[in-house]
């Protein structure tokens, strides 16, 4: 597992120029923009970059050799989830630091007690991106998985739009919004984490199955 | 020990069905034409593909169920796959250090230096020979009990090939129990290294023989039409029509030396074995 993490760190660092551009953009955003957008931006970017190491593994038929190294396929899958989460968490922390710095420069007070549950909720929610991308990339490869991802997000967007259209202005919608407003932020955070955990477990089991069946 | 027991793998029209054994302390070569099934066999032994039938075991355990610790005793070099070409040799050292408890960093570093493999150059900028040497060095770097190598010398010049063969010979000389399974198109590499040879053709093993016996007992008889008519063909494995008459491949050279003193007899080589056994009539 440690060897795989080492490999992924080094593969990620091999994209120094891209990372540098992302970092500069994040710095500019964090120090100049109001709000916590930079935290979400960095977390999402780090997740995408971490999952992208799968395409580096696949490149040049690299999977064949990789799977002869001393770990089993399940460990490979585990490491991808762990590495993606660690990258997302690291980026989230960096984003929070930038957000605080930006607020300090603009002489704004950060109300941590109010904002922390929402900021914390960003991490599991954005990590869901990895839980969708990892099994897709393992199953379809980096090129095809992008198309499948677009299709999935397209379907989600249509569903959200459709639901919005159907319930727009109805009592059900306003009732639901009122009910959600009444729930404590901590309860919302715990519920989001629980749902994301469940989703991650389901995604992990799918990925293990895909890898077990994969012919290299 | 590696045991391949009635391994079956089907890809469309291609059907692989083989059995073989690689005992500890031996060097086994697999030869055959392109598409004969050599790489599929290697992939099945490494657990990279799932057999449609049969079993492949290493030290009694199905290869698909090998744990990380058990896989650490294997050293693998594949012709078309290796560490990501975006990495440097210095990256690979750090990765191997964490992957293998038995990684011999000093050996690896020294060998990289002596083979002219720079630490601070991306693998994608390496020449074909440098990449091949790196793949073999990675396989040798953690004192594996069994090396599995698919075409380790393919596409290399004679000097690079000799370097790789020397590395393999030294690996073998350090421990009598070490084994190598390799495929190669270059017969001279196999003749100088292998204890025994499997010849695969159209997904089947058509010959398994000790290398010494191939080199001492196998031969090509070159005969004209008249001699061919009267030739005792009970020891002829394969015959090919040639301009001068017939080329006959035999595993009993001495029989023909003793009984047909007038005919031309050429010592058998692995190239002849492949040509005559897979292309003759």
Total count of domains within chain B: 2
The pLDDT, as a whole number, for residue A122 is 87
Residue in chain A nearest B147 by alpha carbon: A68
What's the token pair of residue B128? Answer: 């074909």
| Residues spanned by the domain of B227 | 218-279
pLDDT of res. B100: 94
The continuous run of DSSP H or E covering B108 comes out as: helix B105-114
Is B254 found in the same domain as B124? no
Shared domain check, B237 and B124: no
Identify the pLDDT of residue A149. 78
| One domain, residues B82 and B153 | yes
Does residue B198 sit in the same domain as residue B249? Answer: no
pLDDT of residue B30: 92
Domain boundary among B192, B212, B232: B212
The C-alpha of A64 sits at a distance from chain B's nearest C-alpha, in angstroms, of: 6
The answer to whether residues B187 and B114 belong to one domain is: yes
User: Which residue of B lies nearest to A7 if distances are taken between CA atoms?
Assistant: B95
pLDDT in tens, B14-28: 999 999 999 999 999
Q: What is the pLDDT of residue B73?
A: 92
Q: Are residues B82 and B8 in the same domain?
A: yes
Burial of B154 (0-12, 13-18, 19+ CB in 10 A): middle
- State the pTM of this model: 0.86
User: Is residue B93 within 8 angstroms of chain A, CB to CB?
Assistant: no
Q: What is the pLDDT of residues B61-111, one digit of tens each?
A: 999 888 888 999 999 999 888 999 999 999 999 999 999 999 999 999 999
One domain, residues B207 and B236: no
CB-based contact B99 A3, cutoff 8 Å: yes
Name the residue with higher pLDDT: B162 or B118. B118
**Contact between chains at B46 and A10 (C-beta distance less than 8 A):** no
* Amino acid A146: pLDDT: 78
The answer to whether residue B87 neighbours chain A at the CB level (below 8 Å) is yes
Say whether both B130 and B227 belong to one domain: no
Cβ–Cβ of A64/B91 closer than 8 Å? no
**Residue B134 pLDDT grade (very low, low, confident, very high; cuts 50, 70, 90):** very high
Using CA atoms, how far apart are residues B108 and B111, in angstroms rounded to an integer? 5
**Residue B280 predicted with pLDDT over 70:** no
On whether both B80 and B143 belong to a single domain, the answer is: yes
- DSSP string for A32-99: HSSSSHHHHHHHHHHHHHHHTHHHHHHGGGHHHHHTTSSS-HHHHHHHHHHHHHHHHHHHHHHHHHHH
Residue B145 sits in the same domain as residue B207: yes
**Distance from B61 to chain A by nearest Cα, in Å?**
14
Could you tell me if B162 and B254 lie in one domain?
A: no
Residues in CB range of A73: below 8 A, 6 or more apart: A67, A208, A211, A212, A214
Span B180-227, pLDDT tens digits:
999 987 888 888 889 999 989 889 998 899 998 988 899 999 998 888
Contact A60, B84 (CB under 8 A): yes
Residue A98's Cβ-count burial label (10 Å; 0-12, 13-18, 19+) is buried
B118-141 mean pLDDT: 91
Question: How far apart are the C-alpha atoms of A122 and A39, rounded to whole Å?
Answer: 8
Q: Are B248 and B232 in contact (CB under 8 A)?
A: no
Mean of all residue pLDDT scores within chain A? 86
Tell how many helices (H) and how many strands (E) occur in chain B.
Answer: 11, 14
Q: Is A169 on the interface with B (CB under 8 A)?
A: no
Mean pLDDT of the A155-177 span: 78
Query: What are the structure tokens assigned to B146, written together?
Result: 């069994």
Instruction: Choose among A60, A68, A215: nearest Cβ to B85.
Output: A60
- Inter-chain residue contact B84 with A67, CB threshold 8 Å: no
Are B226 and B206 found together in one domain?
Answer: no
Q: Which ipTM score applies to this complex?
A: 0.86
Instruction: Please answer yes or no on whether A70 and B87 come within 8 Å at the CB atom.
Output: no
């Amino acid at each position: 597992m440690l060897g795989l993490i080492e490999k992924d760190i080094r593969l990620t660092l091999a994209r120094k120029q891209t990372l540098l551009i992302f970092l500069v953009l994040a710095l500019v955003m964090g120090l100049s923009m109001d709000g916590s957008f930079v935290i979400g931006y960095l977390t999402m970017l780090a997740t995408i970059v971490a999952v992208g190491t799968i395409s580096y593994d696949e490149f040049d038929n690299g999977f064949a050799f990789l799977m002869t190294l001393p770990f089993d396929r399940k460990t490979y899958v585990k490491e991808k989830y762990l590495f993606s989460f660690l990258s997302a968490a690291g980026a989230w922390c960096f984003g929070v630091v930038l957000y605080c710095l930006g607020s300090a420069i603009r002489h704004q007070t950060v109300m941590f007690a109010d904002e922390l549950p929402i900021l914390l909720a960003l991490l599991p929610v954005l990590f869901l991106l990895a839980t969708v991308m990892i099994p897709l990339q393992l199953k379809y490869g980096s090129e095809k998985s992008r198309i499948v991802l677009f299709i999935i997000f397209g379907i989600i967007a249509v569903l959200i739009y459709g639901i919005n259209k159907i319930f727009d202005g109805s009592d059900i919608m306003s009732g639901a919004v009122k009910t959600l407003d009444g729930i404590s932020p901590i309860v919302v955070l715990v519920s989001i984490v629980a749902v994301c955990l469940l989703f991650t477990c389901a995604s992990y089991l799918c990925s293990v199955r895909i890898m077990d069946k994969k012919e290299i | 020990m590696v045991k391949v027991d009635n391994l079956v793998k089907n890809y469309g029209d291609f059907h692989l069905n083989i059995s073989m054994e690689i005992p500890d302390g031996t060097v086994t070569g697999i030869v055959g034409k392109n598409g004969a099934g050599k790489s599929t066999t290697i992939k099945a032994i490494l657990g990279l593909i799932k057999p449609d039938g049969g079993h492949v075991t290493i030290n009694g355990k199905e290869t698909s169920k090998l744990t990380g610790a058990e896989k650490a005793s294997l050293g693998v070099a594949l012709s078309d796959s290796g560490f990501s070409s975006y990495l440097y040799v210095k990256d690979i050292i750090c990765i191997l250090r964490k992957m293998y408890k038995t990684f011999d960093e000093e050996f690896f570093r020294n060998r990289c230096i002596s083979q002219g493999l720079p630490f601070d150059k991306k693998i994608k900028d390496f020449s074909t020979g440098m990449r091949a040497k790196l793949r073999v060095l990675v396989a040798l770097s953690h004192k594996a009990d069994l090396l599995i190598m698919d075409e380790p010398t393919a596409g290399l010049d004679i000097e690079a090939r000799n370097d790789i063969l020397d590395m393999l010979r030294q690996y073998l000389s350090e421990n009598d129990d070490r084994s190598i399974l390799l495929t190669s198109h270059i017969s001279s590499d196999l003749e100088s290294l292998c204890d025994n040879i499997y010849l695969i053709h159209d997904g089947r093993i058509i010959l398994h023989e000790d290398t010494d016996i191939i080199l001492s007992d196998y031969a090509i008889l070159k005969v004209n039409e008249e001699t061919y008519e009267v030739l005792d063909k009970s020891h002829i494995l394969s015959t090919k029509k040639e301009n001068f008459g017939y080329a006959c491949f035999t595993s009993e050279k001495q029989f023909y030396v003793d009984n047909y003193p007038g005919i031309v007899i050429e010592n058998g080589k692995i190239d002849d074995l492949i040509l005559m056994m897979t292309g003759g009539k």
